[in-house]
Structure 1
Amino acid sequence: MKETYSRTKSVWQRMDADERQAVMDYGEKYKAFLDAARTERLAADEIIGQAEAAGFKPVYDMDSLKPGDKVYWNQKGKSVILAVIGEEPVHAGIKIVGSHIDSPRLDLKANPVHEQDGIVYFRTHYYGGIKKYQWTCIPLALIGVVYTKDGKKVDINIGLKDDDPIFYVSDLLIHMAQDQMKKTLAEGITGEQLQAIAGTNAEEDLKPKEVFMKMLKDTYGIEEEDFAAAELELVPATKSRDVGFDRSLIASYGQDDRVCSYANLEAILQAKPGVKTQAALLTDKEEIGSYGNTGMESSYFVKFVMKLLALQGKDAILDFYETMENSEMLSADVNSCMDPMFAEVSEKDNASFLGYGINLTKYGGARGKSGSNDANAEFLQKIRTIFNEAGVCWQIGELGKVDQGGGGTIAFMMADWGAEVVDCGTAMLSMHAPYDLLSKADAYETYLAYKAFFESK
């Protein structure tokens, strides 16, 4: 039987030839998902498309539920829940894997277009935790939706095709950067300097901004006021790529948390229907605290569970908390791993490593575990046993040294309702960068872990 837990042997050292090929095949499908699902809206569309192709139906169209039924909930085109009904009734508990499909980015402001010294800019407001200097001098794509005055929805997707134009945030040339180079990394580029260049063309009687707005009107039917009814995001226009001579790694935008979200999707599509109902939760707004009606601080997951209960003839309100107390969840979010170039921020014996399997994190938060879900030992034992019996390679790892920093996930929100929850996701390098890095082996083990969890009793 394969050694599933080791701090001295990587997953690669524990795999046979067939497993290695499976890792590489999975990596190709995962890269295709990354390139297609670059925003939360695109991710939701991709997830629902694959789910419907696999036989999932909208839960709000169902009159009743029986074991084996496949249903989904679409929350405003930004969050999705997929569920496969188990042999036991829903109130006996749900096997939940919860990941998020939003990623750090630059959002256009409500009044974004302005001209300065002959250059047309998009003003932006960054979304999520970023190192601002990393977002200069890279190709950016503009993706999202705009509504015109007459209520017409206009989909925008510019910058991903090879012949598309891109957008660009400039930085100061090194020859004139003496003062800038004396600043801290946090101060070198300010939030207000994250303005994306959108054009410079002018005509005899029209200034650059006027030419720009005329092009928007002629091409998309968009006027300047319409930006007030828009959601437009600037995201890296780079494609996902293999890294290393051995192609063992993947670099891409948005792997936090689409590595776990893709594994979550694949797991529920491939898992055998179980005794318990299985639910893949793929949510929005995690990067900014899970607020809003598409984030986990809202009630849509509650409404989804209540809908399942009602379709099985239960009292939705009274039985919700019993259902959650009988439920188990893997909070499927990424974690940092040991970076030899920045080893001083990690405590090696409690850090995860690239290529050593899916990462179990008992607690997160900051300082004295503030804001953390602290998983119960009994549940950790159960998860460890599931992984070991299924041959899943796993490791343990915290988010850096004590008092070094910290981070949170959606784990505590589900635990608040009584579920057993543990953070369980892929370890990665350069998290929240425009182009972050992880191991193909870890991505594949993440999928195997979620599938094993769904199929467990």
Structure 2
Amino acid sequence: MSKLQLEYEPKSAWEAFASDEHRKAMNELAADYVKFLSECKTERLVMDYVRERIVEAGFKDDFGGARVFRFNRNKTCFLARKGRRPLSEGYRLVGAHADCPRLDLKQRPLYEDLDICLAKTHYYGGIRKYQWLTIPLALHGTVVKKSGETVTVCIGEDMSDPVFTITDLLPHLAYKEVVKKVEDAFEAEKLNVVLGQSPVLSADDGEEKAKEPFKRMVLEILHNRYGIEEADFLSAEMQAVPAGPARFVGLDESMIGGYGQDDRSSVFCALEALLAEPEPEYCQIVLFWDKEEIGSEGATGAKSYFFEYCMEELVEAWEPGARLSAVLMNGSALSADVSAAMDPDYKDVYEPLNAARLGYGPCFNKFTGHRGKVGANDAHPDFIGWLRSIFDGADIPWHMSELGKVDAGGGGTVAKFLAVYGMDVIDVGVPVLSMHSPFELTSKADIYACILAFREFLKR
């Protein structure tokens, strides 16, 4: 007779996937993930990647079909695949966000000072400002001219490109700064990106000298390369992000380091899971949003009615006569977002029994919010019990977590914006070290386990 298992310990994903077959699949997916992170530095680039993959898989922008998609301003995406059961009997939804913390160029960014051309920025999302100083940066953006022409800008990713940076004060002159609070020592208005340091030279024929020759040189380079003028920045979205590719980390190449893993790891895992499960029992829905890092506001955030509009059209096409409210309430959803892995150097802000751990598979957060669960969804136990049976039955390692000690801080996700429709929803994603930094860390075992978990959820 087997011994009764009374105690609980989460399973290591490395032990669960020790076979050669699992390790081979894990390494292949990790290589694809590194490529995805390296190429998809903005939400628009993520949407371009998603569109290419789903069109290849037979999805169409036609809700009369069985595999459908709808994009909103190339920043938000709705994907759905018909199941064997009617839509009114339920659906399985995975939702993630494609935006990440970064530095946005202001609408009038360019100026020169001390013979240097710089660009003013406004940070997007929660960053620790000092982490963005003295690192190589790339510029990505979309410029829309008055004519309506759209220009895509990318400088700093190719090895032949120059990169950009933000300067910092040398330690010899920083005696006052080192005693300041971090929030006071690093001012947002000083996050100015260095663009150039050579002037436009006056012509010999008496041409008038440029008032700002260093800024003028940068403008001429941009015009020669992209055909844009300074006024075009008024109708542009320009982002400064860490330059260069994602990399494997560690002598054993067990981890993945790179920018934007919160929350593009969830986008990658959800898309891979959807494409790998083409014959579901229930309708599959995958949603990718924008603006989560600034509260899910705006026309492309989770607070918009984009999801509801798509569902209304889907019900009309797939099951005319079904009540939209009843369909929405009958869904089950995973709010796919990362969690903070316990850091060995900062254990004091975590509660070890309920902290996410690198290498133990995706972590589920019953609630997020802050200090007393304020702003949380707080998933129901019957839904969690159902998920336990699914993942344990498929031998997929996973664990439960919360975001730090009760009074240490907190955070939020899109879960509560799905819960308003009455569906069951819980937060789940891979654990991340150095979250919101220019170089976040994940375990490739967790990425693999998360894909398998999403697959299991979407096919049930």
Q: Same fold (TM over 0.5)?
A: yes
Question: Is 1:273 the counterpart of 2:270 in the alignment?
Answer: no
| Residue matched to 1:125 | 122
| Residue matched to 2:325 | 321
Q: What SS does the corresponding residue of 2:77 show, helix, strand or coil?
A: strand
1:43-192 map, 5 Å: 43-59=46-62, 62=63, 64-65=64-65, 69-192=66-189
Structure 1 runs (4+) deviating above 6 angstroms are: none
Distance 1:45 1:370 in 2: 36
Deviations for 1:404-439, whole angstroms, at most 9, x for unmatched residues?
Answer: 100000001100111100011111100000000010
| Residue matched to 2:396 | 392
Q: Equivalent of 2:434, from 430, 435, 451?
A: 430
Task: Indicate conservation of the 8 Å contact 1:148/1:221, yes or no.
Answer: no
Greater mean deviation of Cα atoms: 404-413 or 148-157: 148-157
Identity of aligned residues (%): 40
TM-score, normalising length: structure 1: 0.95
Instruction: Tell me which amino acid in the other structure corresponds to 1:275.
Output: E
Count of aligned positions? 445
Deviations for 1:212-261, whole angstroms, at most 9, x for unmatched residues?
Answer: 22222232221111111001111111311111111110000000011111
| Residue matched to 1:230 | 236
Task: Indicate conservation of the 8 Å contact 2:10/2:398, yes or no.
Answer: no
Task: Indicate conservation of the 8 Å contact 1:6/1:395, yes or no.
Answer: no
Distance 1:7 1:437 in 2: 24
Q: What SS does the corresponding residue of 1:38 show, helix, strand or coil?
A: coil
Q: What SS does the corresponding residue of 1:44 show, helix, strand or coil?
A: helix
Deviation (angstroms), 1:21: 1.9
Deviation (angstroms), 1:70: 1.0
- 1:89 and 1:344, CA in 2 relative to 1: closer, same or farther beyond 3 A? same
Instruction: Tell me which amino acid in the other structure corresponds to 1:51.
Output: I
Task: Indicate conservation of the 8 Å contact 1:337/1:397, yes or no.
Answer: no
Distance 1:239 1:133 in 2: 21
Q: What SS does the corresponding residue of 2:153 show, helix, strand or coil?
A: strand
Question: Is 1:291 the counterpart of 2:297 in the alignment?
Answer: yes
Deviations for 1:349-401, whole angstroms, at most 9, x for unmatched residues?
Answer: 11111101110110010001000000000000011111111221101110000
Instruction: Tell me which amino acid in the other structure corresponds to 1:39.
Output: T
Distance 2:255 2:319 in 1: 48
| Residue matched to 1:342 | 346
Task: Indicate conservation of the 8 Å contact 2:91/2:283, yes or no.
Answer: yes
Distance 1:258 1:398 in 2: 20
| Residue matched to 2:316 | 310
Q: What SS does the corresponding residue of 1:225 show, helix, strand or coil?
A: helix
Deviation (angstroms), 1:91: 2.5
Greater mean deviation of Cα atoms: 272-281 or 258-267: 272-281
Task: Indicate conservation of the 8 Å contact 2:254/2:444, yes or no.
Answer: yes
Task: Indicate conservation of the 8 Å contact 1:148/1:223, yes or no.
Answer: no
Deviation (angstroms), 1:6: 6.5
Deviation (angstroms), 1:272: 3.5
Distance 2:283 2:339 in 1: 27
Task: Indicate conservation of the 8 Å contact 2:13/2:360, yes or no.
Answer: yes
Task: Indicate conservation of the 8 Å contact 1:7/1:356, yes or no.
Answer: no
Question: Is 1:373 the counterpart of 2:377 in the alignment?
Answer: yes
Distance 1:426 1:9 in 2: 14
Distance 1:356 1:158 in 2: 37
Deviations for 1:86-138, whole angstroms, at most 9, x for unmatched residues?
Answer: 12222222200001111000001111111111111110000000000000011
Give the superposed CA RMSD.
1.5
Task: Indicate conservation of the 8 Å contact 1:158/1:165, yes or no.
Answer: yes
Instruction: Tell me which amino acid in the other structure corresponds to 1:189.
Output: F
Instruction: Tell me which amino acid in the other structure corresponds to 1:33.
Output: F
Distance 1:243 1:6 in 2: 31
| Residue matched to 1:421 | 425
Instruction: Tell me which amino acid in the other structure corresponds to 2:197.
Output: T
- 1:8 and 1:145, CA in 2 relative to 1: closer, same or farther beyond 3 A? closer
Task: Indicate conservation of the 8 Å contact 2:10/2:399, yes or no.
Answer: no
Q: Equivalent of 1:246, from 231, 252, 261?
A: 252
